[in-house]
Amino acid sequence: MKIGLVISGGDVSGINNVLFQINRMTDYEIVIFDGGINGLLKNSAKDIARRDLVDFSLSPVPLIASGRREEKCKKAEYEKIVKNIRKKKIDCLVMGGGDGSFQFLKTLSGYGINCYGIGMTIDNDIIGNSYTIGFSTACEQVISEVAKLRNTGRGLPGRIFMIELLGGYCGELTLQAALKSNADIALIPESVWDIDLLAETIRQKAAQQNSVIILCSEGYTKEYTPGFQGAIDTMIGKLEHKVGIRIRKTIMGYGLRNGFPTGEEIIQGAILAEEVVRCINSGLTNKIIVINNNNKAIPIDLNDSDKRLLDKESNFYKLAKVNNLI
């Protein structure tokens, strides 16, 4: 059997590890397509040596290029992709990505290609998933940044810092990063603060601490559309005159997608890879492999995949409420 592997959408840390895990769990031949969906169209296929998969499994340097496609594929383009896949005698296609990637797979599966999806997005916004590849490493990047600002706030007391994070319309990254970094406030789309209450909360914390650190999701304000950055400017403009203290800003953008993968990243990648290989061996086709709330990898039907917002019934959300982060 021959497996095709492709990554679509934003790049994330942990991709190399997933490729390595799939390779070492099976003797199947593996073909990699560079460049996402466009790579499938251009037939940008390449073989990759086991020695490279081993050596780069923990590296943040990607072995495979991802790619975005702004417009949906037309029928003729799907037919060309199918032709390229069959010409390579590939039995199934495994794609890592987010919801847009899985919508593509839904259509491609209708052309007779056996498809499997793995959530790879720092937004962690795929239905059924409590974890997507790249999420843990992104959180670690935030922890590191918050720690630096705490040190600065201790050296120069009285500072208020606001950090804007990626995450799209879903506040999962901002919420969990706030909890894990001991930040003071999380601004997430699913739980919008009253501006006067927010200002008063910041003032109170500033009186008690050397620094106040606020994490702000890029999708927190109404002007957000994919690719937009600047929610932090809107919020600072609304808050500074109410708080009476200058708010220093940091935008943590695309660097959140890279970094040495965490131990959790490696383990979760192995769990997902094992389930993908099990599905392939069992003949279960057209599945998205997700990590459920019990930290178990399970397959869900490709047709059931979709985006999600933050779960307000989750333990993370409830913990953030108890700690007055949201």
Beta bridge partners of 162: 214, 249
pLDDT tens, 127-156?
Answer: 988 999 999 999 999 999 999 999 999 999
Given a cut of 90, is residue 235 above it in pLDDT?
yes
What was the pLDDT predicted at 218?
Answer: 96
Give CA torsion, residues 21, 108, 98, 8, to 10 deg: 70
Both tokens of 263, joined, read 């131990």
Q: What is the rounded average pLDDT for all residues in the chain?
A: 94
Given a cut of 90, is residue 47 above it in pLDDT?
no
What was the pLDDT predicted at 178?
Answer: 98
Query: What integer is the mean pLDDT of 50-60?
Result: 93
Query: What integer is the mean pLDDT of 88-113?
Result: 94
Nearest-angstrom CA–CA distance, 167 and 216:
10
Query: What integer is the mean pLDDT of 67-95?
Result: 93
pLDDT tens, 244-299?
Answer: 999 999 999 899 999 999 999 999 999 999 999 999 999 999 999 999 988 999 99
Both tokens of 27, joined, read 């003797």
What was the pLDDT predicted at 293?
Answer: 87
Residue 68 pLDDT level (bands cut at 50, 70, 90): confident
φ, ψ of residue 7 in degrees (nearest 5): -115, 135
What was the pLDDT predicted at 11?
Answer: 86
Which residue do the tokens 């943040």 mark? 60
With a pLDDT cut of 90, the percent of the chain lying above it is 87
pLDDT tens, 305-325?
Answer: 888 999 999 999 999 999 999
What was the pLDDT predicted at 70?
Answer: 80
